[in-house]
A = this chain, B = another copy of it.
Amino acid sequence: MNELMKKITDFRDERGWSAYHNEKDLAVSILIEASELLENFQWKTSEEAVSDSFQNIKEEMADVLIYLMQLADRMNIDLEEEACKKLEKNAVKYPIDRGLRGE
């Protein structure tokens, strides 16, 4: 993930976009891309959406990740580490013998 982070921050810095970035607007951006991802599924089943819009789905997922990593960079957060910690927290909330739908 470090290589990707470097590409993302280089892209941003080559264009001087860091000046515009703030945490709130980066969170807004993540949301907007997540909505554009979901839009591929509007009025459709999963199968129909994946069949019709596979390319766009991949691009919107990429957009969500790119903004998420820019927010992580700005806040000095190690995303992979936080994800591991969250999985450990979830493992306590949802022990293996208790089968629950969802998270």
Contacts and interface: CB of A to CB of B under 8 A. Distances in A.
Interface of A: 1, 3-4, 7-8, 11, 14-17, 20, 22-25, 27-32, 34-46, 49-50, 54, 57-59, 61-66, 68-69, 71-72, 75, 77, 79-80, 82-87, 89-91, 94, 96, 99-103
Task: State the majority secondary structure of interface residues on A.
Answer: helix
A67 B3 CA distance: 22
Given A64-B68, A66-B86, A1 B80 contact: yes
Stoichiometry (number of copies):
4
Nearest to A57: B75
12 contacts: A1-B80, A25-B42, A28-B42, A31-B31, A31-B38, A32-B38, A35-B35, A42-B102, A54-B75, A62-B79, A65-B83, A66-B83
